[in-house]
Amino acid sequence: MTNTGSGTNEEQALNTALEEATPLLAESLQRAERDHRRKRRLLLGGLVMLVLGASIVASLVITAGEPPTKDEQAQGSTTVSIEQFEEVVETEALGQRGWQLWSERNYGEAAKQFVEAIKADPESPNLWNGLGWSLFHTGQREKAADAFKQCHVLDEHWLGAINGLGQIAYAQRDYEQAKAWFLKATNAPASQHTLVSVYLLTGEYEQAERLASKLLQGFPENSDDVSITTQRMWLVELHAAAKAETIPDALRQKIEPVKPVKSKNKVDAKPATRPKGTNLLTNGGFERGAEGWIIGNNSNRIAELRPDTESKTEGKQSLKITKTGGVPIDIIRINAPKIVPGQTVEVSAAIKADQVGNAWMKFFVWDGDGNALIEDLDVTRIHDTHDWRTVSKEFVIPEGTQNAAIQFWMIMDGTMWIDDVRIESVEPEAPTAE
């Protein structure tokens, strides 16, 4: 059995598996779901015919001879077929509900629906694929990989799971494994987009240029579809780098995943309770606009990024950001040069959201080689609609730290406001007298 399900073409979304679907991913997964539902309808139709056929046969038996005994009725296929029919209908409903929740970006609830559906139909690769992508978008990469692997065992040609496994390997910088998976999905455009980036990062420029040229043939130069135009611009940028046999720094920041955490030991992180001190950041309140902040408009879908004097929590203004589409992830970042290894810091911000699909506030710490030193780097997830909230978390800065930064990731569409972003050194609490 073969299916054309596929996965996301945006590599940065895979750095923490956060999160979210490109038009290519959505189209591919929806196509896979349509194919699956068509097969399920055929199965349902077959079961209906089986029930009807059993009923007709039973009626013929009744008219041609003696009525069936109770034992014969109990052993008949009609009751079993109805149970099978009801089970298929229930499983179908759970699966459809899972994909509906997934399309609404309610990935946690989608995962629950897929789990319930799998209990009724553990042999469905479509359900395992849906569970994999739901877990993927909630950041549970290991569990997502397990679901994708089970899907692949059930159907080795299921492209959604193949792409998912490739994307997870890519996020871990296991480029050879990523290539191995992506090369099995040559008919899946989403996988091939990411494969171009893999070729660039491994210095295989000729392969990258050839593949980018091939993919560009599917995207007309003049299109009224913003999604098509955006994807073409992205491929043009990748193609230019391949042809020049060099990756500009700005492009490398977009396509190179964050290095995996160097140590498996989680750094102490807990809700902050101490009073505010000196902010180690400059312009954390956006009093000078976005000065000092690095804006990564990777999707070209940031429709608005400006100071807002009407909605704020302190000072004269906040920063308002509006995004009109999905991934690539857009990153608003500020570096923290005054971080000292061994100190405890409180990371905080005031955040307001209006119909935000999915966004995150993260705190990154790196050593001199660019290895991420903090595993639990999420300060908070930002989604839905809410008024101003202050979020905070404490971190102990690991030994070997050279650089740190706060990043706000806008993955899907929506509007959010940011104000009073702070990193404050927290003095150890004095021991109480005995």
Q: What is the pLDDT along the chain (434 residues), one digit of tens a residue?
A: 333 333 333 333 333 333 333 344 444 455 555 555 555 555 545 544 444 444 433 333 333 334 444 454 444 444 444 454 455 556 677 788 888 887 777 888 888 989 988 888 888 888 999 999 888 877 788 889 999 999 999 999 898 899 999 988 988 889 999 999 999 988 777 788 889 999 999 999 999 999 999 999 888 888 777 667 777 888 898 999 999 999 987 788 778 876 655 444 344 444 444 445 688 898 999 999 999 998 888 777 888 899 999 999 989 999 999 998 776 788 899 998 778 888 899 999 999 999 888 899 999 988 888 788 887 788 998 988 899 999 999 999 999 898 899 999 998 889 999 999 999 988 654 444 44
Bridge partners, residue 163, by sequence: none
What is the model's pTM? Answer: 0.54
What stretches of 142-271 adopt beta strand conformation (E)? 269-270
Residue type, 379: V
The type of residue at 369 is: D
In angstroms, the CA 186 to CA 200 distance is 18
Name the H helices within 104-158: 107-120, 125-137, 141-154
Report which of 4, 5, 36, 22 is spatially closest to residue 160, judged by C-alpha positions.
Answer: 5
Nearest Cα to 214, choosing from 189, 178, 245?
Answer: 189
Is the Cβ–Cβ distance between 134 and 14 less than 8 Å?
Answer: no
pLDDT at 417: 96
| Paired strand residues for 354 | 415
Q: What angle do CA 112, 33, 95 make, to 5 degrees?
A: 30
How buried is 368 (Cβ within 10 angstroms: 0-12 exposed, 13-18 middle, 19+ buried)? exposed
What is the CA angle 362-367-372, rounded to 5?
Answer: 40
CA 269 to chain centre: 23
* Pairing state between β 294-296 and 330-335: antiparallel
CA angle 332, 334, 340 (to 5 degrees): 145
pLDDT of res. 91: 64
Token pair listed for 145: 């990989």
Phi, psi of 179 (to 5 degrees): -60, -40
* Pairing, β 378-396 against β 330-335: unpaired
Report the pLDDT value the prediction gives residue 429, as an integer from 0 to 100.
Answer: 46
pLDDT of residue 183: 93
Q: What is the DSSP string of 20-76?
A: ---HHHHHHHHHHHHHHHHHHHHHHHHHHHHHHHHHHHHHHHHHHSSPPPHHHHHHS
Length in residues, the chain: 434
DSSP secondary structure code for residue 324 in this structure: -
Domains in the chain with CATH codes: 11-244 (1.25.40.10), 269-426 (2.60.120.260)
Q: Is 281 helix (H, G, I), strand (E, B) or coil?
A: coil
